[in-house]
Amino acid sequence: MKERFLVSGGARLQGAVKVSGAKNSVLKLMAAALLAEGTSTLTNCPEILDVPLMKDVLEGLGCTVSIDADVVRITTPAHLTPDADFDAVRQFRASVCVLGPLTARCGRAVVALPGGDAIGSRPLDMHQSGLEKLGATTRISHGAVVAEVEQLRGAHISLDFPSVGATENILTAAVLAEGRTVLDNAAREPEIVDLCEMLNSMGAIVEGAGTSTITIDGVEKLHPTEHAVVGDRIVAGTWAYAAAMTQGDITVGGIAPRHLHLALSKLKVAGADVETFENGFRVRMNRRPDAVDYQTLPFPGFPTDLQPMAIGISSIANGMSVITENVFESRFRFVDEMARLGANATVDGHHVVLHGIDQLSSTEVWSSDIRAGAGLVLAALVADGVTTVHDVFHIDRGYPKFVEQLQQLGANIERAF
């Protein structure tokens, strides 16, 4: 039988947790290590399932990868295999981030179209268009995206949407291109800044990280480096909403509060007491939250990865909330599972309207993606009785020691087999 979580509602979460490195950064940094021959070391890596999955991808390309707790070492050979095969890539979406580095290093990349979370289509059009602006030819062939080029050359590229993935692949290709690349409407996420800092420590010349215009002056060669992964703002945000939903008191360390400014501001509006520090924050709530409206947007907007937590808190809030999803069209699949828990929710296109109720009711629910799974656990914490959360392998892909940390905070949760 597949693993599942058994969650008993009613506990008030309190205590302290420290987040590790960001899932949405570490996998891209591992791929960036392909750009330089030799051994690169990443520290503060999260102990999640996706890290060994990326290890498999890189080893299939010819690298040697070791994982020791929160330290990952990647030794990249002089000559890489440019084909990322289906078996390694199919399990998670982030594997497509090897496309840019392989194109830059090998002049050719064949990356099987990846799998991952069921949150909607995420086409590679902007990835391909960006590489084509840099001089590559691309096509989809036999279930893989293929890129080929003799010499990448700098270009002016403007993205239709500030796609994180497209920004990353263009960045990791342009650092070895001839000349200057200017990338307009680039993604501004902290994980993009983290990638740019690692690239610069490898000898790249990247300016403008964290703004909508990034300038890259290509260099002939990069060298290995050591880099600490930025703290995971989505895990930190999950703990923040857990505190507010359970009328708890949680201090979160290992994260820059500015990376969660809007998410924490929403909790203040809902009635929480939020205190920020240099490398963390504290969220306290002593009453039922007030209803707040949310709309997901690229950074610095409200993160789509925290949308399930917004729905969770809105389901028990005092009043009516409207949540608008502007990033992934299928993320409201989560609402069907929340309805099983008794949430009064109505989906209308890209919007969901929630009328908060006093308490959710326990039942069996199924995770469809990493964040939906975590959101269901938070909802189960404010339900009566015992809720069974199935398909928890999704949660393990993004949350290190999730059950153990919840237990330390006072939650009544256990992993069952």
On whether 305 is known to bind a ligand per the annotation, the reply is yes
| Cα torsion through 371, 111, 20, 1, rounded to 10 | 50
Q: Percent helix, strand and coil across the chain, each rounded to 5?
A: 35, 30, 35
Place of tokens 């021959």: 37
In this structure, how many other beta carbons lie within 10 angstroms of the beta carbon of residue 358?
8
On whether 340 is known to bind a ligand per the annotation, the reply is no
With beta carbons less than 8 A apart as the criterion, state whether 345 and 316 touch.
no
With beta carbons less than 8 A apart as the criterion, state whether 314 and 356 touch.
yes
298 cis-preceded (ω within 30 degrees of 0): no
CA separation for the pair 113, 342 (Å, rounded): 37
On whether 93 is known to bind a ligand per the annotation, the reply is yes
Amino acid at 160: D
On whether 401 is known to bind a ligand per the annotation, the reply is no
User: How many angstroms separate the Cα of 362 from the Cα of each of 13, 297, 365?
Assistant: 18, 31, 9
DSSP state of 160: S
On whether 318 is known to bind a ligand per the annotation, the reply is no
User: Which residues have CB under 8 Å from 349's CB, separation 6+?
Assistant: none
With beta carbons less than 8 A apart as the criterion, state whether 26 and 229 touch.
yes
Residues with a known catalytic role:
117
Give the long-range contacts of residues 254-258, CB within 8 A, separation 24 or more.
Answer: 254/18, 254/19, 254/20, 254/279, 254/280, 255/19, 255/231, 255/279, 255/280, 255/281, 256/190, 256/231, 257/281
∠ CA 400-5-116, nearest 5°, is 55
Could you give the 3-state DSSP secondary structure of residue 10? coil
Beta strands in 131-211 (DSSP E): 137-141, 144-148, 156-158, 180-184, 205-207
With beta carbons less than 8 A apart as the criterion, state whether 322 and 353 touch.
yes
Phi and psi (nearest 5°) for 348? -135, 95
**Residues making up the binding site for phosphoenolpyruvate:** 23-24
Annotated binding site for UDP-N-acetyl-alpha-D-glucosamine: 93, 305, 327
Residue numbering of the annotated binding site? 23-24, 93, 305, 327
